[in-house]
Structure 1
Amino acid sequence: MPPSPKSEGVCPACGAKTVSKCGTQKLWHWAHVSRQICDPWWENETPWHRAWKSHWPPEFREVVQFSPESQEKHIADVKTASELVIEFQNSAMNDEELSSREAFYGNMVWVVNGASFLKNVEICAKLPSPDHPGSHDMRLYQPRSGAIDFMYYLVSENEPNATMVLLHGSRDCESFVEKTYDGHHLFIWKHPREIWYRSTVPVFLDFGGSVLWQLKKFNVGQTRCLKSLSKASFIIENEGTVGA
């Protein structure tokens, strides 16, 4: 039931009493009367959380999930009609919680609030699409700060397990990059939140504005990259709506 002014309800996860919060500054929502937390994965909901969840209808928000095997009950931030869980994460977490949540929900993605570490992230050179067959032979090197180009070698040009390889610069494949570019960039992340490198599901970083950045690897190599995606596209592709 959607909240309305001066109304009461019951938490579907724990059965505790809830009250409506219907002010003029925030998205209307339900809150527990007591400070007791019914879901150990719960974190204080911020305006950032509420703004994101507002793009989905009420029946897709805060959906209780129950596992008959473990008898666990948790509340998904968003669960779409196609049963994709979207978790909006603002605070830090440990590896145990990460793996537990991913195992529990299965079909899920993370959207991480990157505002607190934006100053440590530098978006660097454009890359060719790692999905293009012409990129499969490429192995990239991590960039230096301020670099507008990138360095790479081709597996096919070198002996297996070679200690020295023939290097190329991105200017050698400039036309290929422009032809196949689909939003991928090298990046530098000082003091990274490495837990997100260990996720087994898609992770999208939200630095504000109209773009999300998905953490990825560039093909089978070890170099990580980011892929840009408009927030509107992410929302629509995952059964939400955006304002007119």
Structure 2
Amino acid sequence: MRYEICNCSWQKTEAFKGGKGICPCCKSAVNAKCGDVKINHWAHIGKRKCESWWENETKWHRQWKNHFPEYWQEIVHSDETGEKHIADVKTKKDWVLEFQHSYITPEERNSRNTFYSKLVWIIDGLRRKTDRMQFQKILEESSRAPIGNLNIRKISFPEESRLLKEWFDCGVPVFFDFGQTGLWFLLPFDIKDEAYLIHFSREEFIKVHNNEGFNELINEIIPNIQNMISGFRRKIDNMSVNKLLNPKRRTTRRRRF
């Protein structure tokens, strides 16, 4: 964990050499771990681990968290049963951002989806060497949806991409992070085994959340995109039907002798 309640100041504090503190989730004692191999963090004394969903934090996690205010980071969230978990980032609009680097089972993923009522996943697309290559192949084989100025790609069930297969049926917003090339938002559609990928720059994504505009994105922009996609599909379908019902007749010119 990056932040704990430090004994010396009783405030949210980052780990420092010799530091001792209290876990904000379970209120047990923690010690600071500061070295040259792993990034500085707080750890429970002994083998105690109060957060079953927590994964070892990487530089990738820290870099993402640093884009948001400190008081949004590592927020203890509890439900009506009293179950507690620590959200990576929780915005003013109560959107929880979970930055996922390691593999997560579908069971745990679904548990988090249920626990957090407003959850957004950001997935590290560069963890496995093959993920970026497979994803790029999917993009190359996809078809563009000419809707406004957005970069939208239509894809079918992505058997060739391990990353997309793992998150295809997530049920909540999922963004794949490929570093400098930006983020791709996975937008499932109401047709089985069909989905769309929408490109976002990292700056756009961060700006939307810091300006508390993600509600608008989910409640207005995305439904509008879905409606536009539906209209685009109907147009294509109607063109196909008309082509079947009214095939063009071939005309042959008479030869002049």
TM-score when normalising by structure 2:
0.65
What is the match of residue 84 of structure 2? Answer: 73
What is the match of residue 132 of structure 2? Answer: 118
Bigger fraction of residues in helix: 2
* Whole-angstrom CA distance in 2 between matches of 1:22 and 1:234: 31
Q: 1:10 aligns with which of 22, 32, 48?
A: 22
Q: 1:99 aligns with which of 91, 94, 110?
A: 110
* Whole-angstrom CA distance in 1 between matches of 2:50 and 2:108: 16
What is the match of residue 180 of structure 1? Answer: 148
Give the C-alpha shift of residue 29 in structure 1: 4.3
What is the match of residue 237 of structure 1? Answer: 208
* Whole-angstrom CA distance in 1 between matches of 2:52 and 2:83: 10
Give the C-alpha shift of residue 231 in structure 1: 0.7
Unaligned runs of at least 5 residues, structure 2: 1-11, 212-257
* Whole-angstrom CA distance in 1 between matches of 2:179 and 2:121: 16
Q: 1:201 aligns with which of 150, 167, 172?
A: 172
Distance 1:92 1:27, change over 3 A: closer
For residues 49-64 of structure 1, the aligned pairs below 5 Å read 49-64=61-76
What is the match of residue 134 of structure 1? Answer: none
Bigger fraction of residues in strand: 1
Q: Which structure is higher in RCO with an 8 Å CA cutoff and minimum separation 6?
A: 1
Give the C-alpha shift of residue 93 in structure 1: 1.6
Deviates more, 1:84-93 or 1:180-189: 180-189
Deviates more, 1:53-62 or 1:199-208: 53-62
Per-residue CA deviations over 1:175-206 (Å, capped at 9, x if unaligned) read: x82x6240212456624232311211100001
Give the C-alpha shift of residue 223 in structure 1: 2.4
Give the C-alpha shift of residue 62 in structure 1: 0.8
Q: Structure 2 counterpart of 1:121, which letter?
A: F
Contact 1:3 1:21 in 2 (8 A): no
RMSD: 2.8
Unaligned runs of at least 5 residues, structure 1: 126-145, 151-169, 171-175
Give the C-alpha shift of residue 220 in structure 1: 4.7
Distance 1:123 1:228, change over 3 A: farther
Contact 1:26 1:47 in 2 (8 A): no
What is the match of residue 30 of structure 1? Answer: 42
Percentage of matched positions with identical amino acids: 35
1:52 aligns to what SS in structure 2? helix
Give the C-alpha shift of residue 221 in structure 1: 6.5
Q: 1:224 aligns with which of 189, 192, 195?
A: 195
